[in-house]
Structure 1
Amino acid sequence: MTTTRTDNEFQIRGLEVRYGADRVVRDMNLSAAPGRVTCVLGPNGAGKTTTLRAGLGLVRRHAGECQRPDRTNVLLDDGGLIPGLTVRQHVTARALSAGVPTGCVDDLIDTVGMSGAAAMKIGRCSMGMKRRTALAAALVGDPQLVVLDEPSAGLDPEGIRWLGTLLRGLARQGVAVLTTTHHLAEAAAMTDDVAVIAGGTLRFSGPLEEMTSGTTSGSLDDAFFALTGGEAR
């Protein structure tokens, strides 16, 4: 993964985050380059989400530097979905808040496969449909960087496969895609670069093939557990 600073790249250097006396993230370096899908992996409580939030300015950082493009879109938690709005109303509201012409809304809804449910109230949508709606909103305004925390939550296997295709398509358009997941098979199928975090520290950062080449099996699973000491995900 390149370390050259560019306007379109997400970079964290020397990040430290403390909760009281506890250093939950320390000496963290992380980057996501344009045209690449970068996946952050780690056990529960490893510091993945805290790292992303600190890099986005949503959590106070106690040390370090962060850089992100001006056009950065984020999907954290449930994406701020409001049950009483329809799918189209939610994406339209996101466009209006971003100062983006609402003519893009139907195209984005179609991109995530929700055209047939655009008039449905979000409160009536399935978990997978809600996730697709939140993803449509995260694509408003032609972002240079898309940050997605556990974007496959609520998606069925077909939906997870679709998500990988979507993210790779964004990368081909020059977008920097930064995502987290607990599913190693999902990561192996869609990612270009991997960052492994455990115990609040970075254990590996680089191309997927570089990480897996260090194992006799060539398996992401084996490489992951070797780096994290077999900690539960």
Structure 2
Amino acid sequence: MKKPKFGYGWLIKWILAAILIAAGILMKIYDEEVVYATTGIAIVIFSLLRVVPLLKTLKKEVLRTINLIEIIFDTIMGGVMVYVVFSGKATEAFWLGLYGYLLAVFFYARGLIFFLSLFYWGEKSEGMKFWFHIVCLTIGTAIFVLAVQAVDIISTLGWIVLFISVGGAVYLGVDGFGGYRKYRENSKALNETKEKKKKAPVEKGLPQPIPEEKEEKETYIN
């Protein structure tokens, strides 16, 4: 009988679910600082992690150059966002207004570069990626219009992130519940196996054959 395997992924998922909810709540309470910082860090990570795989797989030099320029620009933009937060300027009117334009440029540039590489330089792509960049262009345009109209984008993003965080936490919680249930079943199976071993008789050695007694012939005296 195989020994049950114990996994603790459910615990990590529950911890991440709690962190997600806490992060979502903090982003709503401290709109400007947290949203600014989160956006900046996300852009920097997204940009830096793309560098090596992207430049190695692009075949044309012009595409490598354009994408490298985009990555450098995005990294600088994300760094500026993080700097604004840690310098305590995130609540200033200038930076609040600039946030929408920076975000719009990020999304629009990503979509535009993708479609330029697709139609002008013959870069092939899958359907999901195509529609994703359509969404990027749409989001970039929408954010730009909202920024021009001086709409409070950060507050809106705070609500969106809160809903996403709660949704992600629910998913991780349910998934973790399934993992925990499996963990308990394995624990139960392990205990039952131990009980069976305790109840089973312990054989110290193999049973030895019992020697047959020889019948002695009786002698009769006539």
TM-score normalized by structure 2?
Answer: 0.23
Q: Which has the higher helix share?
A: 2
Q: Which has the higher strand share?
A: 1
More contact order relative to length (CA 8 Å, sep ≥ 6): 2
